[in-house]
């Protein structure tokens, strides 16, 4: 069902073009024609293809954000502080499940282009939008309670890098030419990735001497 809201109509049109023709076909002009609006409306809401891609990415991640928050609330309802592994699994698995869905492969390239076009957008918001901001803030606070030995700056740095590695791994898995041998061996690289990231997040705080190479 098509919405009457112009901004939503534009985003829905862009998603239809992406599904039918791929990311290269998504342009302000093609979206204008598909949505049945004038170019002024597209420019008013987005202004550039980079901004349009960013908005598409935020919309794409909405179900992920909501599931991440649901899982976190479930963990925090327990009497004990969630472990780093529990928090990372709750954060990562909705991302894995989304990219395993039929839409995941279609969106992989769009998401990479959105990030590359606007890497500076919302540096403290790793998935964009109001829901993405809530996810980032809530998980950061939960990790801060689980990792009190880390400074706020170092914890943020580790959390951001963990997210980036999760996303990079998804892109690698979706590349059509990849041949990691995962299918042949039956291994699940995601389990390895979670174990690796938990170890990195839990590691002792870096000292100034280590940072200087002493």
Are residue 33 and residue 69 in the same domain, yes or no?
Answer: no
User: For residue 162, what pLDDT is reported?
Assistant: 95
Q: Based on the fold, state whether residues 5 and 75 are members of the same structural domain.
A: no
Residue 213 lies in a domain: no
In three-state secondary structure terms, 160 is: helix
The reply to whether 6 and 75 lie within a common domain is no
Q: Which of these, 143, 152, 162, 154, lies nearest to 208 by C-alpha position?
A: 154
Are residues 146 and 110 located together in one domain of the fold?
A: yes
The residue segments making up the domain with residue 25 are: 1-47
Q: Token pair for residue 162?
A: 């963990």
34 and 68 share one domain: no
| pLDDT reported for residue 123 | 39
pLDDT score at 115:
56
Does residue 94 sit within a domain?
Answer: yes
Q: pLDDT value at position 174?
A: 58
Let me know: does 46 contact 26? Beta carbons within 8 Å. Answer: no
Residues of the chain with pLDDT below 50 are 1, 119-124, 177-178, 184-186, 209
The count of domains in the chain is 2
> What is the C-alpha end-to-end distance of the chain, expressed in Å?
63
Give the per-residue pLDDT at 10: 92
Same-domain status, 33 and 89: no
């Amino acid at each position: 069902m098509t919405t009457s809201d112009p901004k939503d109509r534009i985003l829905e049109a862009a998603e239809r073009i992406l599904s039918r023709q791929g990311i290269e076909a998504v342009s302000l002009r093609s979206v204008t024609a598909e949505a049945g609006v004038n170019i002024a409306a597209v420019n008013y809401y987005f202004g550039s293809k980079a901004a349009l891609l960013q908005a598409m990415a935020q919309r794409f991640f909405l179900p992920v954000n909501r599931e991440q928050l649901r899982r976190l609330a479930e963990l925090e309802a327990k009497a004990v502080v969630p472990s780093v592994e529990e928090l990372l699994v709750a954060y990562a698995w909705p991302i894995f499940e989304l990219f395993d869905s039929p839409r995941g492969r279609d969106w992989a390239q769009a998401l990479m282009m959105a990030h590359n076009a606007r890497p500076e957008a919302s540096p403290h918001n790793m998935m964009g939008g109001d829901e993405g901001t809530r996810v980032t803030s809530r998980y950061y606070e939960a990790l801060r309670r689980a990792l009190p030995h880390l400074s706020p700056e170092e914890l943020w740095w580790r959390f951001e890098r963990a997210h980036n590695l999760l996303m990079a791994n998804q892109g690698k898995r979706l590349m059509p030419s990849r041949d990691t041998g995962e299918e042949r061996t039956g291994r699940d690289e995601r389990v390895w990735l979670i174990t690796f990231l938990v170890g990195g997040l839990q590691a002792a705080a870096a000292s100034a001497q280590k940072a200087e190479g002493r």
